[in-house]
Every structure is written in structure tokens, then in C-alpha cells.
Amino acid sequence: MCVMEDQTKEKLMDLIHAKTGWGNPLRPNCEFENLYIKKIVNFPDGKRSVDFRYIFDEDGFSQYDKTHVFDGTFTIDIESTFKIDMKEIHAGVATILRYTPHD
């Protein structure tokens, strides 16, 4: 993974944490998260679009499903303006936290 992708993932995680209010910091030995970059598109005008999947587990050791799965798009334009659109596509049956989209 190149430095630019590392920086993109780092900024994306910051935005996801700000948007959800979860996982920053993770509760030790309990909460887990993963970020998967599905596709990166670089446009000639300098804009970059990143499709991603974010998985947050409220309690990785619970016998019940406490995972949240999000799919989304992260966009960076030439002025380094960031925009994130994401949608929760799965919430486990035992989740306690609720995601309420806000900007």
C-alpha cells in the first residue's frame, strides 16, 4: 500500500469516527473495526473517489451478532475538501448502538 492510500485510509477513519461517534478510541479487548477499500478512482481534475466497507463490532467476544456494516464513498477534491456518504447495510440482532446519519 502506498503512502497516499495510507493517508486516505487514515482520513477516512477519522471521518467515519466523527460521523458515527464510535470507535475513537476503541474499547480495549471488546470493540473491533475493519476498513476495506473496494475501489479507488482518480479523475483527471485531481478528484479522488474511494468506495469502502467499514465493519464495527461492539463486542467481538459476544455469542450474539453485534456488528454494524457500512458501505460508502469517500470523495476528495482538488482543494482537499472531503465528503463522505455511507449507509448502514447490516446491524446485528444484538447491537446496542444505533447509527443516526448526520453531517
> DSSP assignment of 25-83, as one string?
TPPTTT-EEEEEEEEEEE-TTS-EEEEEEEEEES-TT-SS--EEEEEEEEEE-TT--EE
Could you tell me if residue 102 is inside a domain?
no
Cell numbers representing residue 53 in the block: 466497507
Region of 79 (left: φ > 0; alpha: ψ -120 to 50; beta: rest) is alpha
Report percent pLDDT > 70 for the chain: 93
Residue 46 has a pLDDT of 84
60 and 99 Cβ atoms separated by less than 8 Å: no
Could you tell me if residue 79 is inside a domain?
yes
How confident is the prediction for the chain on average, in pLDDT? 89
31 and 56 Cβ atoms separated by less than 8 Å: yes
- Other Cβ atoms within 10 Å of 46 Cβ, number: 11
Residue 2 has a pLDDT of 61
Domain count within the chain: 1
Could you tell me if residue 55 is inside a domain?
yes
Give the global pTM. 0.88
Residue-range definition of the domain harbouring residue 64: 3-91
> Is residue 29 pLDDT above 90, yes or no?
no
Could you tell me if residue 7 is inside a domain?
yes
> Is residue 1 pLDDT above 60, yes or no?
no
For residue 25, say if its preceding peptide bond is cis, omega within 30 degrees of 0: yes
The pLDDT tens digits for 53-100 are 999 999 988 999 999 999 999 998 877 788 899 999 999 999 999 998
Could you tell me if residue 98 is inside a domain?
no
